[in-house]
Amino acid sequence: MSKQLVVIGGGAACFFCAINAARLNPALKVTLLEKSGKLLSKVKVSGGGRCNVTHHCFDIAEMSRRYPRGHHFVKKTFHQFFTTNTIEWFEERGVKLKTEKDGRMFPVTDSSQTVIDCLMKEADKQGVEIKMNSEVKNMIYQEGKFLLELAHPVTSASRPDSDGVLNADYLTIATGGYPKSAMFGWIKKAGHSIEDPVPSLFTFNLPGNPITQLMGVSVEKAIVKITGTKLMEEGPVLITHWGLSGPAILRLSAWGARELAACNWQFAVHISWLPDYNEQTLRERFLQIRNESASQKVMNKNKLGLPQRLWEFLVQQSGISDQIRWSDLPAREQNKLVKNLCLYECMVKGKTTFKEEFVTAGGVKLSEVDANTMMSKKIPDLFFAGEVIDVDGVTGGFNFQHAWTSGFIAGKTIASLAI
């Protein structure tokens, strides 16, 4: 009788585990359970609907530094399946990837549907059985087998088993995403420890701050620091109608996920809109501008390369009239402008999910998972893949790479065990 693998989840890690296990061991019966009616939803929305498949980095040590939690863990797993393997795996199946200037890699079609179609086609080719609307309510391990208790909505057309129980020889949990409290309940019950899950990759809310009037304005290079911490990032910042977003903000939310959750997402940030200057060098630059543009209005003459709307806003916030010329700029107002350019302060009150791309900081403790196999160190033949374990990366394709890597390793291990 053929062995049975059940993979719980409907995301990237789940599919990669199921597909590769079935491909490497055709005798293995593979079933994928998804609790909702949607598959690969995060793949769909990633990268603005283009799917940021991985990152153009081919050095394991360098790549591992992009993971606020789990960097030592991925340093081990990447030796088995890395970015080069991801690129090759997809290209062998007709999905060619391209690299953008920031290192993010997307399908040349610029459509996440290309990746979804590839995974769905491969799952079908390898005979993976997909059961939708199949939520696992409990997992029991006894006599070397897994018994999965399933919840079946009355309206569901897909009932994996008439008595609501599914058996498996091997089980992979790849449920991803925050929050996962119900699922973590039965993982804990099975004997695993959980690092409390908190959201990562979110944007900052600035309720009542007038800067939100500049929604759509972006600065290519700014430095953002969270006051009272060592957290600081440099990179693009986008002003939105609710606050601040962009790569620098998202990276800050990742590195500071636990600290920011602890203060209930209420904190102050300082922004340097001109990171190539400090207050002293900016004053020196202003002296040059005074000499060069003495008769021109400060509001109109932006010689520092900032977006004009942002410049006008900061000039106004510094109490400078739109009629003031550079030659007449009072020292007090100039000092205010220098401070606003070098150390603009915002009070953050809350977070907003970055579309549906946010990830979870937290999950199954890494000390309880074997990085070489992705198998539980507590329960034989139980595997984990993707975000369900305490690994998360910054934005840029790093979380997907962890999903492909961990899913592949779990699938490969199970395929060899089931022979």
Average pLDDT over residues 400-413: 98
Say if CB 368 and CB 388 are below 8 A apart: no
Give the number of domains in the chain.
3
Please check the confidence at residue 157 and state whether its pLDDT lies above 60. no
CATH of residue 233's domain is 2.40.30
Rounded Cα–Cα distance for residues 406 and 393 (Å): 14
Q: Once rounded to an integer, what is the mean pLDDT over residues 109-116?
A: 98
Residue 178 in this model has a pLDDT that exceeds 60: no
The CATH number covering residue 323 comes to 1.10.8
Which range marks the domain in which residue 309 is found?
279-344
Q: Which residue has the tokens 């020889």?
A: 169
Tell me: pLDDT of 173 over 80: yes
Residues 242 and 375 in one domain: no
Of 320, 344, 368, which one is at a domain's C-terminal end? 344
> What pLDDT sits at residue 1?
77
Helix (H, G, I), strand (E, B) or coil at 54: strand
Looking up residue 401, the CATH number of its domain turns out to be: 3.50.50.60
C-alpha separations of 395 from 358, 368, 399 in Å: 9, 26, 7
The pLDDT assigned to 160 comes to: 43
- Looking at the fold, whether 166 and 142 belong to one and the same domain comes out as yes
CA atoms within 13 A on the CB side of 89: 20
Q: Two tokens at 326?
A: 């550079």
Q: CB 56: neighbour CB atoms within 10 A?
A: 17
Give the end of a domain, one of 344, 377, 396.
Answer: 344
Examine the domain organization and report whether 8 and 96 are in the same domain: yes
Considering the domain architecture, whether residues 176 and 313 belong to the same structural domain is answered as no
pLDDT digits (tens, 9 = 90+) for 268-285: 999 999 999 999 999 999
**Domain match, 185 and 217 both:** no
| Cβ–Cβ < 8 Å for 408, 119 | no
SS3 at position 322: coil
Percent of the chain with pLDDT over 90: 86
One domain for residues 94 and 27: yes
Retrieve residue 380's tokens: 């034989």
Q: Are residues 41 and 153 in the same domain?
A: yes
Pair 82, 144 in one domain: yes
Give the single-character DSSP code of 389: B
Residue 362 and residue 398 in one domain: yes
Q: Are residues 249 and 268 in the same domain?
A: yes
Q: For residue 181, what pLDDT is reported? A: 52
The per-residue b/e assignment along 302-327, b for 16 or more CB within 10 angstroms, e otherwise, is beeebbeebbbbbbeebebeeebbbe
Same domain, 322 and 370: no
Q: Mind giving me the DSSP string for 267-280?
A: EEEEEES-TT--HH
Looking at 353, 374, 403, the residue that finishes a domain is 353
Report the alpha-carbon distance of residue 178 to residue 137 in Å, rounded: 17
Half-sphere exposure of 103 (CA within 13 A, CB side): 14
Mean pLDDT of 197-205: 92
The first and second tokens of residue 343, run together, are: 């150390």
Question: Are 400 and 337 in a shared domain?
Answer: no
Residue 111's CB is within 10 A of a number of other CB atoms, namely 15
Both tokens of 110, joined, read 């610029």
pLDDT tier, 96 (very low <50, low <70, confident <90, very high otherwise): very high
Helix 279-292 vs helix 331-342: crossing angle, to nearest 10: 130
Average pLDDT over residues 401-413: 98
Task: Report strand pairing: 54-55 vs 97-99.
Answer: unpaired
Residue 120 has pLDDT above 90, yes or no: yes
d(CA 151, CA 9): 14
- Give pLDDT tens digits for 41-54: 999 999 889 999 99
